[in-house]
Structure 1
Amino acid sequence: MDTLNSLALEVPIVSARYAYRFIRFMESRGVKRHTILEDTGVTEDMLESPEASLSMNQVLAVLGKADWLMTDERAAFEFGQQLDLPSHGLLGFAVLGQENPRRLISMIVQYLRVGLPLMDMELASTGSTFRIRLIDTWGLGSLRPCLTKIYMGSIHRVSSQVCSHFNFQFDFPSVIPEEDWKRLAPGCEFEFDANVSQVTMPLNGLPIRKVDASLEFLVARTRHDRNQQTLEADETVMQVRELIMSQPGRPCTTENIARRLDISPRTLRQHLASAGTSFRELRNDIRESFATLYLKDTNVPLESIAEKLGFSDQAGFTKAYRSWTGNTPGDVRRKARKKK
C-alpha cells in the first residue's frame, strides 16, 4: 500500500457512535467488550465520547475481531437493521423532513457517503425503481462481506418507509438457505454469488411524514414560489436535483446533466427558468447542504470537502461557502464542535 493510502487509513473518519452501537450489539450476543477492543486502538473513552471518531484502521480492527466471533453469518445484516434513522445522527432528521420519496432515497445515499464512508454507493433509477450498488474503494478484502451486509441492513431499515420490497444481491456466497435470510426481511429476495452487490427497490409512492421544515440541513430545498410551475418543469427540477446530488463534483455541468436527461442545454435552462430557478442555484443549494453536513457531522478535511464538491482548491470552496452562508467553513466546524 502506498504512503498516501497508509495515511488515509489513519485519518479519523467515522463517528464512534457506530462503534458503540456495534459493541453493544455484539455484547447482546454474548461477546465480551474487551475481547473485541483488545489490540484495536479503540478505547472505552472513545466509545463514550460524542466527539470521538475512528480511523479506517480502527474500524477494520474491530470488525476483524468481531467477524470471526459471529456465529451467524446474518448477524452483520441484523446489526445494519438496528441502524435506524436516529442512529445516523443528522440523517434521521434530514430524511424525516423529505416529503418526496425519490429525494429521500437520494438523501440516504448521499448522507451515508459522508457519515459512514466505509463503502461507496452508486445510485441509479428507472421510473420508480431505485438501484443502489455498493463499491469497495478501500480494498476491504475478507471484511467486504461483513461491511456489505451492514450497509444492506441499514439501507433496508431506513428505506422501508417508502419501499416495501427489496431485492438484495451479494457478490459472495452464503451457506444459509434463502428462507433463513427472508426471515430478516419478509417479502424480500436474497441472491448470493451475483455479479455485483446491490439492492433494487421500487418506491411505494407513499407520502413521507412532514416534520419541521426549518431544519437547516434539509437537502435541496427550492427558494422560490413554485405554485405556478408546470408539471413538466417541476419534474425536470426534481430530476436535475437528483442528478446533482448523485455527483456534485466537477463533472456536474449543465451540458452533462442535459445529456443525461436527453434534452438540449437550452431546453434544460428553459424548464428550470419556468420553475423559478437555475442550474447554478440548484447546484449551489446542494453544495451548501452537503458542505454543511460534512462540516458539522464529520472530520473530513476542508481540502477533501472542496474536492468532493468540485472546487479546484480549498480557497475557492471557502470563498463560495462564505457567499452562501456568511460564515467560513472553519467557523461552522468550530461552532459545531463546541455544541457537542
Structure 2
Amino acid sequence: MSEMITYKVPLVSSRYLRKFVSFMQSKGVSQEALLNNTGIGLATIDDADAFLPVSQIVKMLENAQWLATDERAGFQFGQKLDLIAHGLFGYVLLSRESNAKLVEMVVQHLRVCLPLIDMECTVTGTQAKIRLKDNWNTGTARPFLTKVYLGSIYSIASQVSHAASFEFDYDSALGEADWQALAPDSSWQFNGQHNQITLSLVGRKPQDDNTRVAYSLAREKHIENDGESAVADDAECGSPESREIAAQAREQILKQPGKATLERTAKQLGMSSRYLRQHLAAAGTSFRKMRQDIRHSYADLYLIDTPLSLMDIALKLGFSDQASFTKAYRSWTGNTPGDVRRRGRDATARDEAE
C-alpha cells in the first residue's frame, strides 16, 4: 500500500512535461495521443508550479515509446535537457574543479530534478561510469526513460569528456552508425547487462570562467528570445519531417556555432549534405541563414553580457581574426562590435548611477 501511495506523490515539475509534449509534437505525435489515459489534464501543462506523480509520468512514457516512429527519440529529448534546462548554470562556474567532480555533481543534480531513475557514479583513474538503477520499476517505459537520462548525461558531460561508451540491457533495431550520429566519438552496445555510460575524462579540460559563463548566457538567451521564434517562423513551411530536420540542424549549430558547417551538421544528423540542404529549403530556410542568425544572436550577447575580448568572440564564432568578425557584424547590424560594447557599458553605468 505504501508503494502505491508513493507512486502518486508529485515529484516531477510540469516544465519537463511541457518540454516533452512540445518535443513529441515535433515528432508528429499529438498532445492528445501522448496524454491518453494518463490522467494529465491541460491545466497541468499550463500550470508552471505543478508537479506530476511517477504513475502519470510512466503512463505518458509508455505512450511515447509506443507512438514514436524513431527509437532514438528518447535520447534526442534527453540531449535537449542540457545545463540550462536542468538549472545547472551554477556548475559552469566550476572551471577549477576536476572533470570527475563535475560529472559527479551533474549526477547528484539529476537525482533531485528528475527522481525517476537512480544513478551510481564511479570514477576510476581517467574514467567515469554512470550506471542507472530503475528503483521505480517503470516496466515497458524503462527503455525510453533510460535513453532520456543517458542523452541528458551525455549532453552535459560531453563538455569534459572526449569519448563515451553506452550500454543498454535491451535490444535495438538500429545499427551503431545510426546511434553514433547522435553522439560523435561514441560506441554503443545493446543487449548488455546494464544501462550505463562510461566517459573518458582524458584530453579535455573545463573551459575558463569567462568562456563557460559566456557560452551558457548566450545559449540560454538565444533559445528563449530568438531560437523559439525562429522555429515558429519555420513551422508554417514544409512537411513535419522537414521542420523536424531543421530544428535538429539548428540545435547542432547552437552547440558549436563557431565550428558548425553544412557537411559536419549533416554527418551529425546521419544524412548527406544534399539531403539536409533540401529539407532546410523545404522548411523555408538555409544552413547559411540559420548559422548567420545564431552567430549574430550569440555575438550580441557575448558583447553585452560577457567580458570576453573581441578576439575571443571572433574565434568562438568561427572567424579567423577580429577584422573578419568586425566586417561580418557590421554587415548584420550596421555597427561595429566595439560600438555595441561601448554603448552597453555606458547604459550599465547609467543604470548603476541611477
TM-score by length of 2: 0.57
* 2-structure distance, mates of 1:67, 1:209: 40
Match of 1:168 in 2: 166
How many Å apart are 1:46 and its aligned residue?
Answer: 1.6
On the 8 A contact 2:117/2:132 being kept in 1, the answer is yes
- SS of the residue 2:194 aligns to: coil
Match of 1:88 in 2: 86
Structure 2 counterparts to residues 177-326 of structure 1, below 5 A: 177-203=175-201, 204-210=203-209
* 2-structure distance, mates of 1:110, 1:87: 15
Structure 2 counterparts to residues 328-339 of structure 1, below 5 A: none
Structure 2 counterparts to residues 10-159 of structure 1, below 5 A: 10-89=8-87, 92-99=88-95, 100=97, 101-159=99-157
- SS of the residue 1:57 aligns to: helix
Greater relative CO, 1 or 2 (CA 8 Å, sep 6+): 1
Q: Which letter maps to 2:109? A: Y
Q: Which letter maps to 1:86? A: I
Q: Which letter maps to 1:168? A: F
Deviations 1:191-232 (A, max 9, x none): 0011111110111441244269xxxxxxxxxxxxxxxxxxxx
- SS of the residue 1:87 aligns to: coil
- SS of the residue 1:88 aligns to: coil
* 1-structure distance, mates of 2:2, 2:137: 14
Equivalent pairs counted in the alignment come to: 209
* 2-structure distance, mates of 1:35, 1:195: 33
Q: Which letter maps to 1:76? A: G
Q: Which letter maps to 1:94? A: G
Q: Which letter maps to 2:170? A: F
* 1-structure distance, mates of 2:114, 2:210: 25
* 2-structure distance, mates of 1:189, 1:173: 15
* 1-structure distance, mates of 2:208, 2:140: 40
* 1-structure distance, mates of 2:73, 2:114: 19
* 1-structure distance, mates of 2:89, 2:210: 9
CA RMSD after TM alignment: 1.7
Q: Which runs of 5+ in 1 are unaligned?
A: 213-340
* 2-structure distance, mates of 1:74, 1:161: 21
On the 8 A contact 1:166/1:189 being kept in 2, the answer is yes
* 2-structure distance, mates of 1:71, 1:46: 26
How many Å apart are 1:102 and its aligned residue?
Answer: 2.1
On the 8 A contact 2:159/2:206 being kept in 1, the answer is no
TM-score by length of 1: 0.59
Runs of 4+ in 1 over 3 A off after TM superposition: none
* 1-structure distance, mates of 2:154, 2:188: 12
More helix by share: 2
- SS of the residue 1:131 aligns to: strand
Q: Which letter maps to 1:210? A: D
Q: Which runs of 5+ in 2 are unaligned?
A: 212-354
Q: Which letter maps to 2:18? A: Y
On the 8 A contact 1:96/1:211 being kept in 2, the answer is no
Match of 2:215 in 1: none
Q: Which letter maps to 2:90? A: A
* 2-structure distance, mates of 1:143, 1:55: 15
How many Å apart are 1:164 and its aligned residue?
Answer: 1.8
* 2-structure distance, mates of 1:11, 1:211: 41
Match of 2:275 in 1: none
CA 1:123/1:27 → structure 2, altered by over 3 Å: closer, same or farther? same
Deviations 1:136-178 (A, max 9, x none): 1011111111111110100110111111210000011111111
Q: Identity of paired residues, percent?
A: 41
How many Å apart are 1:28 and its aligned residue?
Answer: 0.4
On the 8 A contact 2:100/2:123 being kept in 1, the answer is no
* 1-structure distance, mates of 2:144, 2:35: 17
* 2-structure distance, mates of 1:37, 1:154: 23
